[in-house]
Structures are given as C-alpha cells and as structure tokens.
Amino acid sequence: MKSISTLILLFIACAAFAQDKPTISLANDNQAEFKFNEEEHNFGTIKQGESVTHDFMFTNVGKEPLIISNAQGSCGCTVPTWPKEPIAAGKTGVIKVTFNSTGKLGMQDKTVTLTSNAKQSSMIIHMKGTVEKPIEQPAVDVNQNKK
C-alpha cells in the first residue's frame, strides 16, 4: 500500500510540473531595426592590388535609436567605417566598407559583421567580386639604348 501511495504522489508531482507555464515575451516592439538598401554588393572584377569602397545605406525602421557598437571585417583586407552616434528612428546611416585586394586572387566574398541593439543584434553584409592578376609589364633593358 505504501508503494502505491508513493507512486500516486509521484504521478501527481510529475503532472503538476508538466503544466504549461505562462511565457514571458522579451520582444520589444519598439526596438531599433536595420533596413538596408542592399546587404550584398558585387564590385565586379578588379585587378590584384586595387581597392574598392562601397557605401551600404540603411534606415532605422524601429522606434528606438539604433546603436552600432561594433563592425568587424572578415579579414584585415576588409575595413568598415560606421556611425558611432545613435541613428534615430526613421533616419538613415552609412556603413562604408573598403576591400583591399592585395594578395587576393579569384572569387571573393568578404563580410562585415555588425553588432548593435537592433532586433537582429548581429547582422552581416557582403562585398563580393573577382580579383584578377594584374597585367605584367615586360621588363625593359635599360642598357639596350646605350649601344
């Protein structure tokens, strides 16, 4: 009898813990939010050693100021510049990204990761394109004209 009572008590305890708990939503409907004109830029084909720069335009479509705390390029060849001041609701901003192709060849997909207080706290934008070998100039013999 004691084991049956223990089983019933255990069953009741499990049933009590299995009840749905009220969920607490941490979503903030007023939170800042990025809306980029484009999240990916194709710079086409460039020669190795050239640099390209692109302005990624965005609007804060949220209701609170947008604060970008960091912008990190995927490597040292990709350097972002971002607004350090808050972007008010409805206002626009620019992330300027420069890609230096020195030492790179072929297809490239470089990224910048933005960290902010936006709904999507981590956002990634892309710079893509192709880097070709530079045209090599034939060597000139400087002694050839002295004869």
Burial letters 14-38, b for 16+ CB under 10 A, else e: eeeeeeeeeeeeeeeeeebbbeeee
Percent of the chain with pLDDT over 90: 69
pLDDT digits (tens, 9 = 90+) for 5-28: 555 555 555 555 555 544 444 567
Domains defined for the chain, CATH in brackets = 34-132 (2.60.40.10)
Region 74-85 average pLDDT: 96
Region 71-100 average pLDDT: 97
Measured CA to CA in angstroms, residue 27 lies from 24, 41, 143 at distances of 9, 31, 75
Higher pLDDT, 19 or 89: 89
pLDDT digits (tens, 9 = 90+) for 47-65: 999 999 999 999 999 999 9
**How far is it, in rounded angstroms, from Cα 147 to Cα 26?**
84
DSSP β-ladder status, 40-47 and 122-132: parallel
- SS3 (DSSP) at 57: strand
